[in-house]
Amino acid sequence: MICIDNSEWICNGDYSPTRFQAQADAVSLICGTKTQSNLENTVGVLTMADKGCILVTPTSDLGKILACMHGLEIGGEMNLAAGIQVAQ
Cα separation, 88 vs 82, in Å, equals 10
Q: Three-state DSSP class for 30? A: helix
Q: pLDDT tens digits, residue range 7-25? A: 888 877 777 788 888 889 9
Q: Three-state DSSP class for 62? A: helix
Cα separation, 83 vs 88, in Å, equals 9
pLDDT at 54: 85
pLDDT at 46: 92
Q: pLDDT tens digits, residue range 33-83? A: 999 999 899 999 999 987 778 889 999 999 999 998 887 888 888 888 888
pLDDT at 27 over 90: yes
In Å, what is the CA distance from 76 to each residue of 1, 31, 47, 79, 83?
21, 25, 11, 9, 14
CA atoms within 13 A on the CB side of 67: 6
pLDDT at 28: 93
Query: Residues 6 or more apart from 63 whose CB is under 8 A from it?
Result: none
